[in-house]
Structure 1
Amino acid sequence: MTFSIVARSGPAFGVAVASKFLAVGAVVPAAEAGVGAVATQAAANLRYRPQGLALLRTGVQPADVVAALVAADREHAHRQLGVVGPEGPGATFTGGECLEWAGGRAGDGYAVQGNILTGPEVVEAMERAWLSSPEQPLDRRLAAALAAGDAAGGDRRGRQSAALYVLSPGAGYGGGSDVACDLRVDDHPDPVGELRRLLDVHELLFGTPDPDALLDLTGELEKEVEGLVAARGHVSLETWAGVQNLENRLVPGKIDPVVLASLRNGDVREEA
């Protein structure tokens, strides 16, 4: 019912998943910064998520995590599982009674798997997309891999939901958690496309400015910004940015071009 990828990039771990299933993000993915990531699907066994992370936490390799989880599960023939750890190859498992087409592929730092797919071309396309973009951030690589699988045919029953879950140390909002990205599309005719749109909005609102692109907030530009802020009914750039959820992009004495574009052109989220 599902196709997914679990992967790591440096200290970050993540899962991207799509399915003809309501709110797949509530079922399949699990991850922990510095530990690894797990995807449980087909007749998903939700116990695999905490148990898999617990094994990874003690240093067990992904292939051995898979073996241990499967060995303890009498219904393993109906399960599908992907696991990645802090180093080495990921591991994937497809039970013999998963509905066709079902299978997976794994390599250094990733595992791709799917069931009830149009064919093996789905996981093959996802693997190619993952391997072709090592320079991209993890969230973008995962989203691209998911989109490749969707374009190749995806779930042969159709589309309904998708999710993207990425963890990295201190990458959460305000540095208060490790959750860099937790986006879900629970019921949508084009869930993968909608997920990618949400990722663009997420980057816009919660990303950090490029230091090389920052503009000095002085002279005529400073006067323009003050006038635009006042025209929108605010007493300061900081107050306006807080209302627009752009506070992560503020830098004292500078202005991010993204913030400036929002001031000049209206709600920049409309352009994402």
Structure 2
Amino acid sequence: MTFSIVARSADGQALGVAVASKFLGVGAAVPAALADVGAVATQSYANLAYRPQALALLGTGVAATETVSALIAGDAGPVDHRQVGVVGPDGLGATFTGKACHDWAGGRSGDGYAIQGNMLAGEAVVADMEEAWLAGDADRPLPYRLLEALRAGDRAGGDRRGRQSAALLVVSKGRGYGGTSDVWADLRIDDHTDPVAELGRLLEMHSLYFESPDPETLLPLTGALADEVAERLTQAGQVGPDLDESLASWAGIENLEMRIVAGKIDPLVLAQLRSTTTAAG
């Protein structure tokens, strides 16, 4: 009743899980990840204890394949109904599908990834997810690569019972809000008619609000641009002792503080400022 991918970025710095299901709040049950340690997805009569157990094993240097074997061997519950995928900080990913999982059920794995699903429309779901993952741009941020693989599974039919929830969890050292955590992205769609599409919308918003700007795209706050920004900030009621402070104050109200750089402006911030003040005017 669920399809997922656990994977590692090409540079090994990020680990994550993307999952979708005809199940309420799948993000609360399936994914877990720890920076520089690994990621795990537990599903199909999910044993939520697999999450801390897998991360503990990976944290001691146990490979993903051996971690999955240990999880299954130590499970006193209905192992034949279980499904799990694991990836570590290096090496092959690993996946397990119990022989009693509801059809179609199965998985695929390789260097740095594991894909699995049960109660699916067919094998094409995991096959298309694997193809999308392998064909994806290795330099693209991991949250977007995971989402593309999830979209491929959704297009192939996904959970044969329908759609309800989806989630994305990605970790990387210092990539969390303000550099104070390792949680790069933690997004959940708990109950929606098109959860994978909605997850994509939230990821775009997450990038806008919580990621730092590309230094190559920043525009100098000088000349006519500085005059325009000052005028628009005045329209927005932000009049400070200097332009940088006024812009920072406005950005804080708009939740764009992560994109503020003294003496410059991010084109995305500029677009938001123009949109906000045009709408207000």
TM-score range relative to shorter protein: over 0.9
Deviations, residues 170-208 of structure 1 (Å, cap 9, x unaligned):
000001100000000000000000000100111111121
Deviations along 1:69-117, whole A, 9 cap, x unmatched?
1011132111000000011110000001111000000000000000000
Moved more, 151-160 or 218-227: 218-227
Runs of 4+ in 1 over 2 A off after TM superposition: none
Which runs of no fewer than 5 residues in structure 2 stay unpaired? 240-245
Equivalent of residue 87 in structure 2, options 84, 87, 107: 84
Match status 1:261 vs 2:271 = yes
- The correspondence for 1:66, drawn from 62, 65, 68, is 68
Q: 1:253 is matched by which residue type in structure 2?
A: G
Distance 1:86 1:15 in 2: 14
Q: Is 1:197–2:201 an aligned residue pair?
A: yes
Cα distance in 2 for residues equivalent to 1:247 and 1:136: 24
> Hey, what's the Cα distance between the residues in 2 that align with 1:251 and 1:239?
12
SS of equivalent to 1:63? helix
Report the number of matched residues.
Answer: 268
Structural mapping, 1:1-272, within 5 Å:
1-9=1-9, 10-74=12-76, 75-133=78-136, 134-235=138-239, 236-266=246-276
The residue that corresponds to 2:243 in the other structure is none
TM-superposed deviation, 1:263: 1.1
Deviations 1:198-256 (A, max 9, x none): 00111111121111111110122112111101101122111100011111111111111
Taking a change above 3 Å as real, the CA distance of residues 267 and 224 of structure 1, as seen in their structure-2 partners, is closer
Range 257-266 or range 81-90, more displaced: 257-266
| Distance across 1 between alignment mates of 2:35 and 2:45 | 26
Give distance in 1, aligned partners of 2:203 and 2:135: 20
* Most deviating of 66-75 and 117-126: 66-75
Displacement of 1:135 in angstroms is 2.6
Q: Any stretches of 5+ residues in structure 1 without a counterpart? A: none
Question: Secondary structure of the residue that 2:191 maps to in structure 1?
Answer: coil
The 8 Å contact of residues 164 and 190 in structure 2, kept in 1 or not, is answered as: yes
Give the drift of 1:266.
2.2
**Aligned-residue CA RMSD (Å):** 1.1
Decide whether the 8 Å contact of 2:235 with 2:277 is kept in 1. Answer: no
SS in 1 for 2:261: coil
Q: TM-score, normalised by structure 2?
A: 0.94
Check the 8 A contact 2:236/2:277 in 1, yes or no.
no
Shift of 1:267: 8.4
- The answer to which of 224-233 and 183-192 deviates more is 224-233
Secondary structure of the corresponding residue to residue 266 of structure 1? helix
Distance 2:4 2:152 in 1: 11
Q: Residue 170 of structure 1 aligns to a residue in which SS?
A: coil
